[in-house]
Amino acid sequence: MEYNTERPKMAIPEYGRNVQRMIEFAISVKDRDERNRVARAIISVMGQLNPHLRDVTDFKHKLWDHLFIIADFKLDVDSPYPIPNAATFQTKPDKVSYPDNRIRYRHYGKILEKIIQKAIEFEEGDEKRVLTEMIANSMKKSYLTWNRDSVTDDVIIEQLKELSKGQLKLDPTTKLVQASDIPVVRQQQNNNNKNNKNRNRNNRHRNNNNRNRGGKKM
């Protein structure tokens, strides 16, 4: 019995060992015209085995690339596309640059900081004041969403002043959105209440069981 572990490794297992054997046969064909006919027939079989590739742009090109990869680039045939080599697929992609902008308060995010910068550009007036209040409310929602601790309005107002470098200010008496009006916070509170009820119920059951055991011993 022959085990798969004893067989040659398949470059692209999705096509199966039969396709690999067909390609190995194509490599052994001496006549170039015959070898080209065999290669085109193999491409047709590969396309039938992977119909999902038909939705991929230039799927024929991909099939030919797969053909050469499985052949370990030893198949000498006429391809309708540029013939790849091993180095084609060994080139490392360019490193993707990652923004190194530091975020002062991560729970507010970078987008909020950009919104604050845009709000600073507004002319003084009711529109800027309303926008500033909206930003402060958004900050409070984000704070309560990502932190278990409660927060007072004056803390949010002070952090807004800090993030805007003192250019966005609210009256210290400004009333921001209430925690009970934030769906995520309300859900967290409901879950906490449920957990407390379940914990109390379990404690009562445990106490009752202890009393029953004590009564039996007497």
Return the pLDDT at 196: 55
Tokens, residue 14: 């999705």
Q: Are the CB atoms for 66 and 102 separated by under 8 Å? A: no
Spatial distance between the Cα atoms of 209 and 7, rounded to a whole number of angstroms: 65
State the 10-residue block means of pLDDT for the chain, 218 residues long: 72 89 93 94 90 78 92 92 84 76 80 90 89 90 79 86 88 79 55 56 62 54
Q: Is 202 exposed, middle or buried (0-12, 13-18, 19+ CB in 10 A)?
A: exposed
Return the pLDDT at 41: 95
Return the pLDDT at 218: 44
pTM of the model: 0.44
Return the pLDDT at 91: 74
Pure H helices in 125-175: 126-146, 153-163
Tell me the per-residue pLDDT of 190-205, one tens digit each, with 9 for 90 and over: 555 555 556 666 666 6
Cβ atoms within 10 A of the Cβ of 81, count?
A: 13
